[in-house]
Amino acid sequence: MQTIDDLDVAGRRVLVRSDLNVPFDKSGSGEITDDGRIRASLPVIRALADRGARVVVMAHLGRPKGADFAECAAGGPSLAPVARRLSELLGQPVAFAADLVGPSAATIVAGLADGQVALLENVRFEPAETSKIEGERTVLAARLAGLGDLYVGDGFGVVHRKQASVYDLPALLPNAAGGLIAAEVAVLRRLTQEPRRPYVVVLGGSKVSDKLGVIGNLLGLADRLLIGGGMTYTFLAALGYEVGTSLLEADQIDSCQALLAQAAERGVEIVLPTDIVVAPRFAPDAPATVVAADAIPADQMGLDIGPASRDLFVSKLADAKTVFWNGPMGVFEFPAFAAGTRAVAEALTKLDALTVVGGGDSAAAVRSFGLADSDFGHISTGGGASLEYLEGKTLPGLTALGA
């Protein structure tokens, strides 16, 4: 896998696939609530510009809907606010193209001077970007290739996707991996190749179905798995417990039972919450009470792990030498149900260990609590990509870069 140090970029148009898929305030204010992914993308963009490249950044935002560019663009979301924030962080203007491979992009790219930066509109406004039909992706990739001389892949959050700007485009231009992807791969290798022990994995989030594969694979790697978040309730149901109106994937109960049995056979400790913070409805002002994990009332839903569980999880992390955490322990966006996630985050900052936060909501939670990225060994920019790597899957975007 080549890096940007292997490319002669001065005076050349360098297409950089970044991951700028940042969250926005849900009130519709247009405010970016966590610019961590933009900040993580800065080093490669700045390094290329400093070396005289004409940097053309590509990225996606959200999941646009529509049959063509016009329909997708009308529904949004546009990368225009991201361009403004990128300009502020870089300390230099970032030209923004109102399309991806149309006249605006062509004009913007043609007008770049050495060291200047442009951002193209949301790559997913072009339906071919995410098409399952290879020929459609190839046509879009060829049009993108016409805008550049070199390609740099630096969006780790999308390397698990076989998409035009991630998988098909690198085959058409001399390419290299950016420092962000190189760093992510290096950390994930430490998690999968002779990790320091005890190796503890903390998994949360909403759906157990999203993490069945990674749990199965980690049973051969980790010493201990801590389970929280919405996925907790399917595991509790697998033990025969009432889970009330909590998030439940009934069709995954058998799979959870099988995983629990497999863990017992392999000597891997699975730690489930012993108490739960419940409420009658999903709302920030819902009255919260604490109940035992095996005594959730039928009319209540679990929204966080309880205080005894927080202490239990912290104790199970205390001796760890390697930790991977993906997924919050509860609805951390609501202060009344954020204590479990905060307890895990703060515990990780006190360990003498490699601590890896697996991106997505976990990274957003860390920053919402006022914790610094430097408090952790590594904060990934790709939650889904990290999970698929740990699951043992081949990631198309890495394959395209020769990794």
Q: Which of 207, 321, 367, 393 is catalytic?
A: 207
Return the closest-CA partner of residue 76 out of 101, 98, 54, 109.
98
- Quickly count helices (H) and strands (E) in the chain: 14, 15
- At 178, phi and psi to the nearest 5? -80, 170
Q: Of residues 37, 137, 143, 211, which has the active-site annotation?
A: 37
Tokens 């260990």 identify what position? Answer: 353
Q: Are 24 and 77 in contact (CB under 8 A)?
A: yes
* Catalytic hit among 230, 244, 306, 360: 360
Residue with tokens 């202490």: 311
Cβ-proximal residues to 193 (8 Å cutoff; 6+ apart), any chain: none
> Which segments of 125-267 are extended strands (E)?
150-153, 175-177, 199-203, 224-227
Q: Find all residues with CB under 8 Å of 401, minimum gap 6, and list them.
A: 1, 2, 153, 170, 175, 176, 177, 181
Rounded to whole angstroms, the Cα distance separating 151 from 167 reads 11
DSSP 234: H
Contacts of 394 (CB under 8 A, 6+ apart): none
Specify whether the backbone of 56 is left (phi greater than 0), alpha (psi in -120 to 50) or beta: beta
Catalytic residue from among 52, 213, 384, 392: 384
Encoded tokens for 80:
């225009």
- Taking each helix axis from N to C end, the angle separating 36-50 and 360-368, rounded to the nearest 10 degrees, works out to 100
229 in catalytic set: no
Burial class of 139 by CB neighbour count within 10 A (0 to 12, 13 to 18, 19+)? middle
Q: Which helix H or strand E contains 197, and what residues bound it?
A: none
Q: Is 384 a catalytic residue?
A: yes
Residue 296: how many CB atoms within 10 A of its CB? Answer: 22
Other Cβ atoms closer than 10 A to 248 = 20
Establish whether 207 is a catalytic residue: yes
Enumerate residues 6+ apart whose C-beta is below 8 A from 45: 16, 18, 55, 57, 86, 90, 117
360 carries an active-site annotation:
yes
Q: Which tokens in the block code for residue 367?
A: 């920053």
Active-site annotation, residues: 37, 207, 360, 384
